[in-house]
Amino acid sequence: MTAFSLDPEQITWCAELRALAAERLKPLAEKGEPGRVNRPLVAALGELGLLARLFDAGALDLCLMRESLAQVCTEAETALALQGLGTHPVAAFGSPAQRARWLPEATAGRAVAAFALSEPGAGSDAAALALDAVPDGRGGWRLHGEKQWISNAPEADFATVFARTTRGAGARGVTAFLVPAGRPGLGGEPLDMLAPHALGTLTFDGVPVGPEDLLGEPDRGFRVAMHTLNLFRPSVGAFAVGMAQAALDAALAHTAARPAFGGRLADLQAVAHRIAEMATRTEAARLLVYAAATAYDEGNSHDTADTAVPRRAAMAKLFATETAQYVVDSAVQLHGARALQRGHLLEHLYREVRAPRIYEGATEVQRTIIAKELYASHRREGAPEGAPYEEEPSPADGRDTTPHAEEPTP
């Protein structure tokens, strides 16, 4: 495929996914309790083979799944994405024993996964994380501290947990562990959030972990986080595109039918132009997401700029999530009061659309990544003498605190 169009099989697959979401997943989502893991929904994603597909799929397939599900059932989309985020480190970095124990359960939707990077003192600046892994003197560690804003916590059956094994080493002193629920000292509380999916804290009071719980090597945990987030970042944009398309479809249908001033709302040029703008921005976001995912799948082989893949991922995530906010807000405006009634599709989307501008790298962090990578490739290509670009000043301790594409921002 090219970055600009899907092939007929992909178009058919997306239509099938939307039909499955409407017939099989939405009824289960409607029975879920806000803020709690919807286990029947996760199990249905497993039975339909969608969770297994997560681990064979490339970035574009992941985006198509997320966009198609989001268009019809955001709860199913989010359950799928979270299962992928928490399980990808096991699939990519787990030992044979960890993979044998957890992958069949996770792909069947019987075990629920979490990805635990953020902390009260470390969000965008993930390298500041402080969950302390203290050596136990027998080759293992005891974990002390707290994780916050963790999707599926505290109900998840296992979590990929990032902890500090070397103090003062920033990103280089972090290790990833697979921590199953039920370990002594592991706790947590649910948090009541605007979006309906389960999210909470995880607390660690001397939780024992051993070498058999490592995901990857000690002190190389940021590699695990980066590998996972690089794959998932464009797909957050796909989630946003699915929501934008659902809002656009609703606004189109409503404005075409709603009588106003002796005609229909759609007859008012201001309304029709708003619809045109919503559609144009949604399509632009979709193409950026497909281009970023395709670049990831092609491993950058057709691009001379080394940093094109992370830069495109950042652009896609940034533009699509901001666009979805605009499109959903516009759809609310065009519907008037009915959109704000509890239970209306747009009331639901209005709550769902906000968080993706913050998680997996806030909008501002994506801008910093894009600009930094642009200037880096400008330097690599040999800026002419006297070119206006100057290196940004670093703080007095010499530590570069600005986010890079190669650092995880959860």
Ligand X SMILES: Cc1cc2nc3c(=O)[nH]c(=O)nc-3n(C[C@H](O)[C@H](O)[C@H](O)COP(=O)(O)OP(=O)(O)OC[C@H]3O[C@@H](n4cnc5c(N)ncnc54)[C@H](O)[C@@H]3O)c2cc1C
Which residues participate in catalysis according to the annotation? 360
Does the protein bind ligand X through residue 70 (CB under 6 A)? no
- CA dihedral 346→347→348→349, nearest 10 degrees, is 50
Query: Considering beta carbons, is residue 122 or 246 the nearer one to ligand X?
Result: 122
Asked if residue 228 lies in contact with residue 215, where contact means CB atoms within 8 angstroms, the answer is no
Q: Which of 42, 50, 150, 320 binds ligand X (CB under 6 A)?
A: 150
Sign for the CA dihedral angle at 229, 230, 232, 233 comes to positive
Query: Considering beta carbons, is residue 297 or 322 the nearer one to ligand X?
Result: 322
Query: Considering beta carbons, is residue 119 or 297 the nearer one to ligand X?
Result: 119
Does the protein bind ligand X through residue 319 (CB under 6 A)? no
Query: Considering beta carbons, is residue 224 or 365 the nearer one to ligand X?
Result: 365
Does the protein bind ligand X through residue 117 (CB under 6 A)? yes
Provide, rounded to whole angstroms, the least separation between the CB of residue 124 and ligand X: 3
| Distance in angstroms (rounded) separating the CA atoms of residues 324 and 266 | 21
3-class DSSP assignment, residue 97: helix
| Distance in angstroms (rounded) separating the CA atoms of residues 144 and 132 | 5
Provide, rounded to whole angstroms, the least separation between the CB of residue 199 and ligand X: 5
Provide, rounded to whole angstroms, the least separation between the CB of residue 360 and ligand X: 6
φ/ψ (deg, to 5) at 149: 65, 40
Q: Which of 38, 68, 118, 165 binds ligand X (CB under 6 A)?
A: 118
Which of these segments, 99-107, 115-123, 138-146, 269-277, binds ligand X (CB under 6 A)?
A: 115-123
Asked if residue 202 lies in contact with residue 154, where contact means CB atoms within 8 angstroms, the answer is yes
- The tokens for 142 are 């005891």
Does the protein bind ligand X through residue 87 (CB under 6 A)? no
- The tokens for 143 are 């974990």
Query: How far, in Å, are 228, 381, 402, 407 from residue 126 at the CA level?
Result: 14, 30, 11, 8
Does the protein bind ligand X through residue 403 (CB under 6 A)? yes
| Binding interface with ligand X (CB under 6 A) | 115-118, 123-124, 149-151, 193, 195, 199, 355, 358-359, 362, 364-365, 368, 403, 409-410
